[in-house]
Amino acid sequence: MKPDKLAKTAKKAAHTIAHTQTEQKDKALLALGQLIGDKKAYLMLENKKDIEAAKKAGLAKSLIDRLRIDDKVIKEMQASIRDVVNLADPVGEIVKIWKRPNGLQVGRMRIPIGVIFVIYESRPNVTIEAFSLCLKSGNCVILKGGSEANHSNRALFSLIQEALREAGISTDIAHLVDVKDRSYIYDLLTLEEYIDLVIPRGGEELLRSVVEHSRIPVLKHYKGVCHVFVDKSADFSMAYEVCLNAKAQKPATCNAMETLLVHESIAKDFLPEMAKRLRKSGVELKGCSKTVRIVKGIDPAREEDWSEEYLDLVLSIRVVQDMGEAIAHIRTYGSSHTDAIVTSDYQRAWRFLREVNSSLVLVNASTRLNDGFQLGLGAEMGISTTKLHAFGPMGLEELTVTKFIAFGEGQLRV
């Protein structure tokens, strides 16, 4: 199907799905969850083709791990669908209402955005997450996954179509772009009269390419240069666990810690054991001059390391004089994604929360928690690092906008 025809088909279907009843949307989602379980052998077989191709292509192990569909991923996809089903349908919600002096009642009602074009890399379960959120929020979705997950995405999309048919919903509300030619994508990005929003999920190169070519508004999710600041009053045992989880639990994700900041008053006591635990998990360490003197055998960090999103078992460490220097470092080198403090001082925790303006700021918790599922949003469409329309994990509400509504009794303008 040509790009303009695909986009027109989606736009035409947008009116229908915008007014589809919650029960019918949930029926499709529940059917999809059941199909994923019933046909997991088929999904794993198709996924195996992608894994084998990725290995032959020499993709990094961390990227291959993100590509994999196993029993754990199957259960996670089903759980994310159940969570979306259990969430309230935002469409038609009156979020605010007030009365004017002339008696006119003015309110705001949530409505779908319309047609959303989602472009993503690696993780094939994004196909399910993006579809689930768009369906429940009353949006049409155009999906373009990475070529490295081609077989997996086709298989998952076939289940999406089957679930829609079971629920009596037009399959025109969801489309999979199964074309490798970039010019096809660039053509879609010019069709602002049919597509309302583009959401790219992937590396910085993908995001910048989409922004460069799109005439459609783009909800940006730039790189995750995430920090953990271990304050002078931190509980060491907690800090060890938080930092290890933030870096090593899944290093190829955008919410993994890339730089560890440590208050200088505790650095000599804290860093040797922390470095030992990180190295035991296979993490390569780089550090500032103070860190290099405290922890032997690590490479000096270069200036560009402080703004690097490694997406791997690599970590930069910096000893800071105080909280002010820690916050200044985050403002200078961070990406407004996720930042955390480990501290037992209530007032200092609140200072960090107020002064660090990232999409999620945490106290005594891992940066890995910046995720729609973990924050109770169900699945997420991505983590927006810009402040227009949405900031942070994008759940159902973030895939709607509000329109003004008014109830009158014959009021006129004078």
358-399 tens-digit pLDDT? 999 999 999 999 988 788 876 778 888 887 778 888 889 999
pLDDT tens per residue across span 141-190: 999 999 999 999 999 999 999 999 999 999 999 999 998 889 999 999 99
Rounded average pLDDT over 94-120: 96
Rounded average pLDDT over 229-234: 98
DSSP structural state of residue 217: -
pLDDT tens per residue across span 200-220: 987 778 888 999 999 999 988
Rounded average pLDDT over 297-305: 96
Q: Using the structure block, give the residue that is written with the tokens 């349908």.
A: 89
Residue 45 vs residue 383, higher pLDDT: 45
- What is the predicted pLDDT for the residue at 393? 86
Alpha-carbon distances, residue 337 vs 30, 118, 248, 272 (angstroms)? 32, 20, 18, 28
Q: Give yes or no for residue 89 having a pLDDT over 80.
A: yes
- What is the predicted pLDDT for the residue at 225? 96
Angle CA 92–6–180, to nearest 5: 120
Q: How does residue 404 score in pLDDT terms, banded at 50, 70 and 90?
A: very high
Own/partner pairs for 208-211, CB < 8 Å, 24+ apart? 210/119
DSSP structural state of residue 397: G
pLDDT tens per residue across span 63-73: 888 899 999 99
Task: Tell me the percentage of the chain whose pLDDT exceeds 70.
Answer: 100
Name the burial class of residue 172, with classes exposed (0-12), middle (13-18) and buried (19+) by CB atoms within 10 angstroms of its CB: middle
| H/E stretch holding 129 | helix 125-136
CA dist., res. 404 & res. 107, Å (int): 6
User: The pTM is what?
Assistant: 0.84
CA dist., res. 29 & res. 162, Å (int): 11
- What is the predicted pLDDT for the residue at 207? 87
Q: Give yes or no for residue 274 having a pLDDT over 80.
A: yes
- What is the predicted pLDDT for the residue at 169? 98
